Structures are given as C-alpha cells and as structure tokens.
Amino acid sequence: MVLIIQVKAIRPSWLGIFLFAWTLLSGPAIEAQVYQGRELVKAELVANTSAVVAGKTFTAGLLLKIAPGWHTYWRFSGDAGLPIELKWKLPDGWKTGPLRWPIPLKFDDPGDIKTYGYHDEVLLLQDITPSSSIPPEKVTLAADANWLVCERICIPGSAALQLELPTGLESSPANKELFARYEKLLPQDQPSGNNVSLGWSRSGTDLHLKVTGQDFARHRQVDFYPLPDEKTIVGHPAVASHSGDEVDFRISLESAADNLKSLPGLLVFGEQADGSDRAAWNIGQASEVIAPAAGGLPAPAPTRGLLVYLVFGLIGGFILNLMPCVLPVISLKIFGFIKQAGQSREKILRSGLAFTAGIFAWFVGLALLLIGLKAAGHQITWAFQFTNPYFVLFLGVLVLVFALNLFGVFEISLPQGATRNLLGTADADGDVASFFQGVFATVLATPCTAPFLGTALGFAFTQSAAVILAMFVAIAAGMSLPYILLCAQPAWLRFLPRPGPWMLRVKQFMGFLLLATLVFLLYVLGAQRGLEALTWASSFLLAVSIACWMKGAFITPVASARAKGIAIGLILLLLAGSGLYFIGQKFRETQSGPLSAAKGDWGSFTPARLESELSQGHIVFLDFTAAWCITCKFNEASVLESPSVREAFQRHNVVKLRADWTNGDPEITKLLQHFGRPGVPLYVLYPGNRENPIVFPELLTRGILLDKLETISGRVASQ
C-alpha cells in the first residue's frame, strides 16, 4: 500500500515543522487504496476550522477522491454495494453529531440493478464538539473509514486516518471552498412557506407517496430516494404519474411490517437528467410531517359517558332549529301551525307527527348511509354530501321549485290526482306534505353544525354503528322537540297570531327567503366549480322555472286531456334537454379548481405550512371553513374579520391560516379528525412554543377569542 503523506494548510512556524515531523511518525493524514497499480480511492480527514477551541463545535469530514469510472455508496446503497463507514476515535468527553451525507446519484446497471452513490469525489460531514478541557497546542483526531468502491468489479477499501489540529482560544475557518461546496449538496429540510404537501397511503405491498405543490412538481427530474430500516426491503421507487402540480411515487415493498405506512427518504429534484443540478429535501416518517399539526392534541378520549353525549346530541339538534340555514323552512312550519290553530287537535297532532317523521327519516337514512360508508372503510364526516356539487345543485332545484310554489306559480299535485299544496296548506290530506317539509328542513340543516352537536358527532363517528344510529336519533329528537311539544300541547298555539288574509303575503315572502337560500347554494357551487359552472347551473334552474310555469299555466283542471298531454310532453322535453345539455355536458366538464383559501391576510393551510410556522415558534390561528357552511361565514364576518379581532391578531403577530373544506380535501379531513370533529366550523389556536392547541366553540364570540389571545401572549412574554 502506498502512503501519500501530506500536511495541509500549516503556517510556516515551529508548530508546522513540529506537526510535519509528528505526522511522519504517527500516521497518515491521507491514505490511498491501490488496486493492480491503480489508485482507486484517496481518503483524507478534513476540518472546517484552523484550530480546535474547547467546547466549540466544528465540522469535520471524510473526503474520498475516487478514480474516474468508479463509485462508492450512499447510506442506503440500493440493490448492491455497501455504505461508506466512518468511525471516529475521539478523546473522552467529545461528542459527534449525525453523519451528514450529500445527495447521492442514482446508478442504473444492467439487470435492473439500481444503486445510490458517489463518483469522483465525496465529503461526508459530521459535527464534532470538543470537551471543555482540551490538550494544549494540538490534538489528534483519529477515525477508521471503510468503503466499497466499484466499477464493474468491487473492491473493499479501508483506512485508519488521523487529523492533526492545533488547539487554542480562537479559530478561523479553514477549507472554506470545500465545505461550502458540500454544504450545498446536502439535503435540506423542506423550506418554510413552501406549498408542498405529502400524502402517504398503502395498498398491499405498495406504498404511494403523493407530493402536491408547484415547488416540487415543476421540476423536470423528480425522484424519491428511500431510507428503509433494516426490517424493510424496498423495490425501486417509481414515478407513477407526474402532471400539473402533483407527483405520485409508487414504492413497492418486498418485505415490510404490515403497519408500515411511510418511509423516510429524500425528495430529489432538478432539471438535468445527469443530476448535476439536483437538490433534495429530507422527509421523515409521515408522522413527523403531519403529526406536529396534531402534536399534543387534546385527546378526543370519551371522558364522558355515552348518555352525556346523547344529551349533547339532543340539545344540538334542538339548537339546529335556530341556525341560519334552517330558518326559512322552520318559519314555514310555524306558519303551518298558525293556520292549524283553529283545527281539531287530532289533525294538528297528525301533521306534527308527520313532520317529525320526516326529520327522523332523513337522520336515520343519513346514519345508515354513514354506517355503510364507515364499514366500507371511508372517512365519515358531517355534511359530507355538501362537498358534492351535484348534491348542492339538486338542493338548489328543490329550493327553487318550492319557492315558485309559494309564489303561486304552480300547485304541486301529488299522485291520486288530489291537488295539495305541499308547503303551505295542512288539510287532512297534508300529512305527506308535512313529512316532506320535515325532510326538507333537515336536509337544509346539515351544512351547519351547532354547539354541542360537533362534540357529540365527533364522539359518535369513532364509535360502533349502534352508537352512531343512537346519536342521530337523539339529534332528530332534539330537532323535533318544539313540534312534538306544540302537538302535545295545542293550547300553546293560542300564543301564535290568528290566521287571516295576511298569510298569503307571508307565504309569498317565505318564497323570497327560499330564494335567498338559493343564492347561498349558488355561491357554494361557484366556490366549488367556478363561474362557468355557476352559469350552466343557473341556466338549468331557468329551464326548471319555465317548466314550473308551464305546469301552472297549462296543466289545470279545466284544460283538455290533449292540451295536458302536449304540455306534459313539452315539460319533460324541456327538463330532459336542458338537464342533459347544461348539467350532463357543460356543468360536468367544469373542473373543481384549486380552492385558494388565501384571501386578504389569511394564508392557505397545508400540513407543511402549519408545521413550518410552528417550528418557527409562531402563534397560529386555524380557521376550518367551507363555502357551504353558514355558521362559518357568520363567525368569519362577525368575529374573525371584526376590527377588534383583526387588530388583536396583528398585535400578537398571529399567523392566520384558513383550511377550506368546501370540496372535502382529505388532508383537512384528517386534521379535523385529529381534533375529534366531524366537520366545519373548527377554530384552533396554537399558542406557539409547541404548547397544546386551544380549540374554540363552534359559535365563536369576540370575547372568548380576545381573552385567549391575551392569556397566551402574556404567557409567551413572561417566558
């Protein structure tokens, strides 16, 4: 073995001469691996400091210079090879940090053999902290290095290396260019304020990593270099798809624990196929990326008994009657009661029970659907149906038709030829109408969660099917409570005003309330699908209005059978034609655009963004909202955007992030579930310094929010 002995960067002084002589006696600073007369690898220890200062951390490194065509291996070598090893032999009391590896290259050999490593030159970096007492004048740092260097064949190499450094009270940087060059080649943590988010999933023996965000996906070359543990054998990660702002990696697992859901590794990106401009981010286990958002969560452990939660459900159901989205329909029911006031007790009772049955029917149906979805492995949430634009559209049509009915444009005729007014009258045959009123009121109630309701549902969704069903029955009972009471005690109806001709005007006015609801639903559609979708949906609604008008104008008891037949044919044609064209074709073509939750001084929530803000110790306020959530809009307008709250947020340097759940974003669903919530709204304040987040009630008030802000900022300031 040829030893090349060289002393670097020593000032011409007695110390230098001394060191040179010492090096000759004690061992090499550089060692070369020679194979068949060729020098394959030159190994050397280097440091970024001119001198060692007691207790002051510096960076040392193993520099390997590799012959052209040969390569050494990364910490995960891939299908063949062995990682470079570096073992320091330091004096007692010295400490080392983790070995830092520059981003490797990926080598592809015949037979689908992929390895990760370095050619030409590599520097592995490691921080070293000397003890507080170090020898005077100089110190010798020793390390054993092992590597495997391969071209076509592989040759193991090893070296016992030493590094001489003077000691002193001061030091200046050394090997600046070399260290700077390799610091730049180290993988970075994902930068803060970066819009990239990660999603892991596992299906059988495949792991999927979905990376969403322009900052990653815009690069031409993207890759994932895995860092599996000893128990995990990975196949080759492959880019399954790369389009727009999303990259999907598929990572096959040859052998892995059943509960393995993610892998640490590097997300590598650049423009050049040869990797010359590559950069990379470290990613940990998925839990490390997403969990901090949920870190130190108030556990949703059922500290209360089932009965308490059922009572919460009952109260929540009752309060639903007062929530802004249900009010128009509820007022109609009250209107019905007014009209019934003079009628027989039996009729009132039947109508009230039918209404209640409608409420129960919807809730029980919804419970069964959710139980089914849960059994099929879906994540279940409250108001999930509002994330579907077709459901919103359907509801819009329903609301419009009822409004037109109230205006008197047409009468609704139910089967058996009997003409009944579905929404207004409550004659003896109106039970069916009452039933549907109940259903309708409840459907409209779902975009809201009321106080108590969120807590109760959040609990129920984690429980058995029986508990979910019981919870929905409790909520239905709560919502029906006022009507059941009125039916049971019709005498109380005395307190309501007497019926009279004013009721026609009230009925028409209620139609406008329903149109207001329609405006809200159209706003939701616009938020989900954009302006074009809004236009096509409105066009369809126009066609529906015309159909309703034709029904009222031409299908009358006095019209001839032939005229009725023609009218029915035209109505069906109009509905089918406009439905197929406006909805089946045009509306369907529109895409759910990426929702930008970032408005005004609100940032858009992503798990990565939240994590980066928290890691910087910022106070973060999270607003979970959706376009269809009226409670959310109400809270935003009355509390979050009020001058006093805005001012307080600003004064305490609170980072405001908004999570828009309009389209049911699964990342947001995950975080909602971390907080044990079935849906929006949800308000969370992270006090900074990794303290437990504070969860606010659904009906936010300025007082509570300002109060909490003062408390936490007082605490932070006193630290």
Interface residues with other proteins (CB under 8 A) are 79-82, 109-113, 115, 146, 148, 150, 152-156, 205, 230, 233, 235-236, 252, 254-255
Shortest Cβ distance from residue 64 to other proteins (Å)? 17
In this complex, which beta carbon is closest to other proteins, that of residue 85 or of residue 245? 85
Least gap, CB of 77 to other proteins (angstroms): 8
Answer whether 687's CB lies under 8 Å from 613's CB. no
Q: How many CA atoms lie within 13 A of 625 on its CB side?
A: 28
As measured in angstroms, the least distance from the Cβ of 106 to other proteins is 13
Crossing angle of helices 465-488 and 431-445, in 10° steps, is: 130
Task: For residue 482, give Cα distances in angstroms to 428, 445, 506, 544.
Answer: 21, 15, 21, 34
Radius of gyration, CA atoms only, the chain:
35
Phi and psi dihedrals of 657, rounded to 5?
-120, 140
CB of 116 to other proteins, least distance (A): 12
The distance of closest approach from Cβ of residue 81 to other proteins in the complex, given in angstroms and rounded to an integer, is: 7
Shortest separation between residue 62's beta carbon and other proteins, angstroms: 18
Minimum CB–partner distance for residue 109 and other proteins (Å): 5
Q: Which is nearer to other proteins, 115 or 449 (CB)?
A: 115
For residues 150 and 514, which CB has a smaller minimum distance to other proteins in the complex? 150
Nearer to other proteins, 82 or 706 (CB): 82
- Is residue 441 within 8 Å of residue 326, measured between CB atoms? yes
Report the run of H or E that residue 154 belongs to, with start and end: strand 154-168
Is the bond leading into 681 cis (omega within 30 degrees of zero)?
A: yes
Nearest residue (CB) to other proteins, 110 versus 501: 110
DSSP code of 108?
E
Query: What is d(CA 389, CA 586) in angstroms, rounded to the nearest whole number?
Result: 14
Alpha carbon distance 46, 39 (integer Å): 20
**Nearest Cα to 165, choosing from 293, 317, 378, 10?**
10
Query: CA-CA distances (angstroms) from residue 553 to 405, 417, 559, 563, 576?
Result: 13, 17, 10, 11, 20
Q: CA-based diameter of the chain, in Å?
A: 122
Our CB check for other proteins shows the closer of 113 and 375 to be 113
Between 83 and 130, CB nearer to other proteins? 83
The answer to whether the beta carbons of residues 157 and 148 sit under 8 Å apart is yes
Nearest distance from C-beta of residue 480 to other proteins, angstroms? 57
Quote the crossing angle between the two packed helices 502-529 and 389-407, to the nearest 10°. 160
CB of 150 to other proteins, least distance (A): 7
* Least separation in angstroms between CB 159 and other proteins: 14
**What letter represents residue 635's amino acid?**
N
When the beta carbons of 229 and 589 are compared against other proteins, the nearer one is 229
Instruction: Report the alpha-carbon distance of residue 511 to residue 400 in Å, rounded.
Output: 9
User: How many Å separate Cα 12 from the centre of its chain?
Assistant: 61
DSSP character at residue 67: -
Q: Which is nearer to other proteins, 235 or 552 (CB)?
A: 235
Cβ atoms 105, 3 nearer than 8 A: no
Between 86 and 441, CB nearer to other proteins: 86
Give the pair of three-digit tokens for residue 595.
């929702």
What is the rounded CA–CA span in Å between residue 405 and residue 417? 17
Least distance from other proteins to the Cβ atom of residue 36, Å: 12
359: alpha, beta or left? (left if phi > 0; alpha if psi -120 to 50): alpha
Closer residue to other proteins in complex, CB, 117/336: 117
Question: In the bound complex, what is the minimum distance in angstroms from residue 252's beta carbon to other proteins?
Answer: 6
Tell me how far the alpha carbon of residue 282 is from its chain's centroid.
Answer: 20
Nearest residue (CB) to other proteins, 189 versus 254: 254
